[in-house]
Structure 1
Amino acid sequence: MIDTIAELGYEQASLAQVGQRAKISKGVITYHFASKEVLMQAVVDEVFGQFAAFVTARVPDDQPWDMLRAFLQANADFLKTHRKQLLALFAISRNAHDLTLQGYSPELDIERIAALLTEGQRQGTFRDFDARIMATSILALRDSLIAQSAKQADLDIDHYIHEIISLIDHAIRQSS
């Protein structure tokens, strides 16, 4: 089911397509999932749970820059090891606006990153900037990695995230 969504995208991943690729009847799928939306919600819940646990376990309770860098690296590492799952989650979240990510909202991510940036500014590590705008930009860069990976299966994820982290470092750090 995840493979079907990752390969075909949300729009084309019908219950019939999922059943056909899983070599089971559509009836078996509809027995467990009343609709495409229920199936997609199950995928979202499973993958987002894995993703959140993976990233959270890798972000230390440390200095703001170390936490931000670890957050971005953990996102890339999850993509490297769970590419199809993350691409499926990305496809669903971009298209099924009525689904919920348990315990997640884009606004919450922005607030958390903005708070981290504000703390870095308070400590004198980060220069002065609008933390909310910078947080939104950082998350857009993170999302660009996932989007590019969807377009380019052989993307060098390590190089891509290294460049993103370097770009962010130059954008937010206090000049020496």
Structure 2
Amino acid sequence: MASRRSAGPAGPTFTERARRQQIVECAIDLISTRGYPATSLAAIAEEAGISKAAVLYHFTSKDKLDRATLDHVLEQFFAYVTERVERERDPVEAVVAYVRAMIGYQQANRRHVRVITEMLLDDGGGTRLKTPGSHDTHDRWQRLARMLAAGQEAGRLREFDTRTTALAIGGAIDNVISYWLVHPDVDLDAAADELVAFTVNAIERRG
């Protein structure tokens, strides 16, 4: 049976969209502070100042709210990275932009990082994945591997296995961010510089 909010041909109203966004933001706040397992529908409803039934009116289940929350965070993250990568025409500079954007977004959006590291432990089917960050999920390494392959085709990058290198670069980024979450005094700007040097040395064609 279709939910009441989607029964009309025009879809959700402005008010309903605003309420859904409020609920998602409350979920982000709670997951980032309490952790994913402790963030219940009741807790989200209390944070939003509405009833649990009102939350279910907009999302119908906890699973759908979880998915909407994770999708919202990932969409913002990937849009930020994509925008900065697409500004660059040179393949090496595009990969450098990728590394800096990955670090820069997470530095500026610590709440979202917490949501990602908490919720990417879950693959959407109730099974927890093996590592926080999980650079091998949600097409992350594949996107980077395609960038690396394009750079090889353009003759700017040396020959290497793009999958292995994409996983190595992504894993380095994830490990730096994981360490920073525990040790917030780490200089992420300096870390980004080191990661850029590491990446360029690993991929750039010499001579």
For the residues of structure 1 that align with 2:189 and 2:96, how far apart are their CA atoms?
13
Structure 2 gaps, min length 5: 1-26, 127-135
Question: Residues 107 and 35 from structure 1, CA distance in 2 versus in 1: closer, same or farther, beyond 3 angstroms?
Answer: closer
Q: Secondary structure at the match of 1:115?
A: helix
Look up the match of 2:22. Answer: none
Look up the match of 1:69. Answer: 96
Shift in Å at residue 65 of structure 1? 0.9
Q: Which has the larger radius of gyration?
A: 2
Greater fraction helix: 1
Equivalence map 1:1-176=2 (5 Å): 1-59=27-85, 60-98=87-125, 106=137, 108-176=139-207
Question: Residues 151 and 25 from structure 1, CA distance in 2 versus in 1: closer, same or farther, beyond 3 angstroms?
Answer: farther
Question: Residues 74 and 33 from structure 1, CA distance in 2 versus in 1: closer, same or farther, beyond 3 angstroms?
Answer: same
* 8 Å Cα contact 2:67/2:124 also seen in 1: no
* 8 Å Cα contact 2:152/2:159 also seen in 1: yes
For the residues of structure 1 that align with 2:84 and 2:100, how far apart are their CA atoms?
9
For the residues of structure 2 that align with 1:147 and 1:22, how far apart are their CA atoms?
29
* 8 Å Cα contact 1:6/1:87 also seen in 2: yes
Q: Alignment length, in residue pairs? A: 171
For the residues of structure 2 that align with 1:91 and 1:66, how far apart are their CA atoms?
31
Runs of 4+ in 1 over 6 A off after TM superposition: none
For the residues of structure 2 that align with 1:72 and 1:26, how far apart are their CA atoms?
40
Structure 1 gaps, min length 5: 100-104
Shift in Å at residue 43 of structure 1? 0.8
Question: Residues 22 and 69 from structure 1, CA distance in 2 versus in 1: closer, same or farther, beyond 3 angstroms?
Answer: same
Q: Percent identity?
A: 30
Question: Residues 39 and 146 from structure 1, CA distance in 2 versus in 1: closer, same or farther, beyond 3 angstroms?
Answer: farther
* 8 Å Cα contact 1:121/1:128 also seen in 2: yes
